[in-house]
Amino acid sequence: MKQKIIVAGGGFAGIQFIKTLDEKLFDVLLIDKINYHQFQPLFYQIATSQLEPASISFPLRHIFKYKKNVQIRLAEVISIHPAANKINTSIGEFEYDFLVLAIGCTTNFFGNKEIDRNSFTLKSTSDAITIRNHVLQMFEDIISAKETEKESLLNMVIAGAGPTGVELAGAFAEIKKNILPKDYPGIDFSKFNITLVEGSKYTLNNMSNSAKTASRKYLEQMGVNVLTETIVKNYDGEILTFSNRNTIKTKTVIWTAGVTPNMVEGIPHESFTKGNRIKVSRTNKVEGCSAVFALGDIAYMQTPMYPMSHPQVANVAINQAKNLAKNFKRMANGKKWVEFEYKDRGTMATIGRNKAVVDLPFIKFKGYLAWLTWMFLHLMLILSVRNKLIIFINWAWAYFTKDTSLRLILTPNKKKNLTP
């Protein structure tokens, strides 16, 4: 009889683990609160009306339609019970032989509830659509707004200058120049200000010095106001306040300044470490639990090459998942488990048309070639051939026309009151 593995989370780690796992040896139950896998690196292109949501969102049932050993349940994980090998969800309780947690991270507001309440996040396809709707509606509002109201509508602030913040700021700077003035000829876009705020000294602080320097130079050339060594203190929905007490009137704050692991009850308190990550062995087994494993962003694994654990990036999650799936097969065949070590294949970020930075282990470069490299590698990571083709066509069309036709405001209709 096959052993049962429950996988919580359909992100990069969860998907790769199931795809690599030997289906002849194990049955899998995949639990996620949404019914599709999301390609996070391109969320910013949904938010800036460059791609359709369906281009980077893949139904879980379609991904695994040929995997006869995989069942899928839409539910939210509430708690786990390691001693009883059970997991409690919003639709009931399930038993497992092994549990793989791949539940990823959520936005970290560092305890500031007011910023949490009033700012936008970019951690899901839904978040990206919400930002797109808001930004497009904002320009519709500007047309008829009073002069005293326009200042806050024309100021956009992006907090956090990691890859997401930098790519988002660059994309908005491009549509400000090439697209929005054609849609809204009555608006003076010289007054539309995009401000990127970073608490550390550099943009792309975890990349090479050349990437840090080039990314800031590109952004400033594109008209983005870059504020480094500056911390957002508060935002009440109208006024953003910095730690130096300077303020900006704005209706749009997008928070990309940090992440924190999604939490699940039942994991022993001593299994957590700094940043609420879960301590795991080099085979991804959760410390203090005999049959529970954690992958990707939530996992804190110390290795000789990474004594302070691995970076919270997709490549780490994918490779940990592959290693764990192969280890389960080794276990079934009575072989020794292989410990994980991450080989850094590089980091990259795109700032805009013909502008990107790439840090590879053996070379670092920027500009047009880096931009082509970024596009090619991200295209190859997209799951389906159909979606690769759709995205390539969209990118090619946008490149040659400097335009897209995806600027739709899609908001749910309010339900009618059918009570007589």
**Which residue ranges make up each domain of the chain?**
3-107+259-332, 117-257
pLDDT in tens, 26-83: 999 999 999 999 999 999 999 999 999 999 999 999 999 999 999 999 999 999 999 9
∠ CA 316-307-340, nearest 5°, is 40
Average pLDDT over residues 364-385: 92
Q: DSSP assignment of 18-60, as one string?
A: HHHS-TTTEEEEEEESSSEEE-GGGHHHHHTTSS-GGGSEEEH
Predicted pLDDT at 309? 92
Q: Same fold for the domain at 3-107+259-332 and the one at 117-257?
A: yes
Place 394 in a pLDDT band, splitting at 50, 70 and 90. confident
pLDDT value at 276 more than 60: yes
Q: What is the DSSP letter of 221?
A: H
Provide the phi-psi class of 253: left if phi over 0, else alpha when psi is between -120 and 50, else beta.
beta
Give the CATH number of domain 117-257. 3.50.50.60
Predicted pLDDT at 405? 67
Burial class (CB in 10 A: 0-12, 13-18, 19+), 374: buried
The chain-wide mean pLDDT, for the chain, equals: 93
Predicted pLDDT at 420? 52
∠ CA 402-196-147, nearest 5°, is 80
CA gap 274, 291 in Å, rounded: 23
Q: Which residue has the higher pLDDT, 47 or 397?
A: 47
The answer to whether residues 5 and 100 touch, using CB atoms and an 8 Å cutoff, is yes
Average pLDDT over residues 117-143: 95
CA gap 390, 217 in Å, rounded: 32
pLDDT value at 415 more than 70: no
pLDDT value at 173 more than 90: yes
The answer to whether residues 342 and 303 touch, using CB atoms and an 8 Å cutoff, is yes
Q: Does domain 3-107+259-332 have CATH number 3.30.300.30?
A: no
pLDDT value at 419 more than 60: no
- Give the alpha-carbon dihedral of 394, 399, 401, 402, to 10 degrees: 100
pLDDT value at 414 more than 70: no
Percent of the chain whose pLDDT exceeds 90 = 81
Predicted pLDDT at 315? 92
